Amino acid sequence: MAQLTLPNSLLGASFSQNITELRSKIRDTSSEAVTGRYSDLTLKLSGRIGKAMMGQKALDDITSQRGLLGLREARLDLVQQSLNNVHKSAEGLSMRMLTAVGTEDDAGVTQTARESKSALDSIFSSLNVRYGERYLFSGDATSSQPFPDSAGLLADVRTIALSATDVTDFETQIDDYFNSPTGGWQQSVYNGSATSSDGDAVTGIDPAITKLVSGLAVMAVSGGDDNMAILQQNPVLIQQAADRVAEGQIDLTTLRANKGVTQERITNEQNSLDVEETILTEAFNKMTARDQYEAASELRELQNGLEASYMLTARLSQMSLLNYLR
């Protein structure tokens, strides 16, 4: 014998489905009221959905590009600050040393030598700057701190001064030490990489830095504290070192100017992205925007409908077969 299906069961199933649909519409409409965009763009745009998705991808690409430009900008700002500190650390030392040597002021030479040692430590500290976990002057070896303190460097320069047989030999050894890939500067002092895949980066062995440091290192051991005979007997070597410091500072200024050009280019690219984003956002909004006031009004109607459905469902659940048959 077939089982009797009660009409109120059929009605209850119908209301249950209606409630499910209302909940789904409420969820979508609530999202639209908050975001101001249609939740189902495929349904809304139909054949234009491909164009809308291309517009969204273009906006996402702009966000990604802006993030990369912001990262470059932050790193370059730190590089500029560090190079500025390097420049300031040696400021005035070249002229003071030239004046002291020219006037045969031994006390002045010794004092300037001490200041040169201090400047080297300050320079190395500035060049050890990091952005996050990335050392900015280490080339591709971004996890390696590029410089120790200046003690090892000065010990090597003292050794050269003691072993040099004459002025020419000293100059040759200093040049080889600082400028040859197999010299002590790159092999024993600098702990970073000689190359960098980041076009914005400056390595710790950039010629401007190397020239400045080489001059300061010789000046640092030229005073009475170290008593290097070849330097005291040949003040021309100290004068040449002071000249290298001055030239290094000029080269640093040029280097900073070049990085400034890059910074300006980044700023221009960011401004261009802002304009492009404005245009694309306006076009995308025209296709996908949902009137939030209208969505809020529809949401209230849907919520009222859901409440009514709940009430009817509750009443149906209380009906008995006898109530139905009356």
Least confident of 24-28, 88-92, 113-117, 233-237: 24-28
Give residue 214's pLDDT.
97
String of DSSP letters for 240-293 = HHHHHHHHHHHHHHHHHHHHHHHHHHHHHHHHHHHHHHHHHHHHHHHHHB--HH
What total number of domains does the chain contain? 1
Give residue 322's pLDDT.
47
pTM comes to 0.73
Give the residue with greater pLDDT, 20 vs 243.
243
Place of tokens 């050392």: 135
CATH of the domain at 170: 1.20.1330.10
pLDDT tier, 142 (very low <50, low <70, confident <90, very high otherwise)? very high
Give residue 213's pLDDT.
98
Give the residue with greater pLDDT, 117 vs 16.
117
Give the residue with greater pLDDT, 28 vs 206.
206
Residue 198 lies in a domain: yes
Contacts of 170 (CB under 8 A, 6+ apart): 160, 161, 164, 230, 234, 237
Residue 207 lies in a domain: yes
For residue 122, give the nearest of 183, 213, 210 by alpha carbon: 213
Q: Answer whether 174's CB lies under 8 Å from 167's CB.
A: no
Give residue 321's pLDDT.
47
CA-CA distances (angstroms) from residue 100 to 54, 90, 91, 97, 104? 70, 16, 16, 5, 6
Domain of 128 in residue numbering reads as 60-276
Kindly state the average pLDDT of the residues 278-289.
72
Residue 217 lies in a domain: yes
Residue 287 lies in a domain: no
Give residue 2's pLDDT.
46
- What type of residue sits at position 264? E
Give residue 17's pLDDT.
66
How many CA atoms within 13 Å lie on the side-chain side of 71?
A: 11
- What type of residue sits at position 35? T
Kindly state the average pLDDT of the residues 303-310.
65
pLDDT tier, 43 (very low <50, low <70, confident <90, very high otherwise)? low
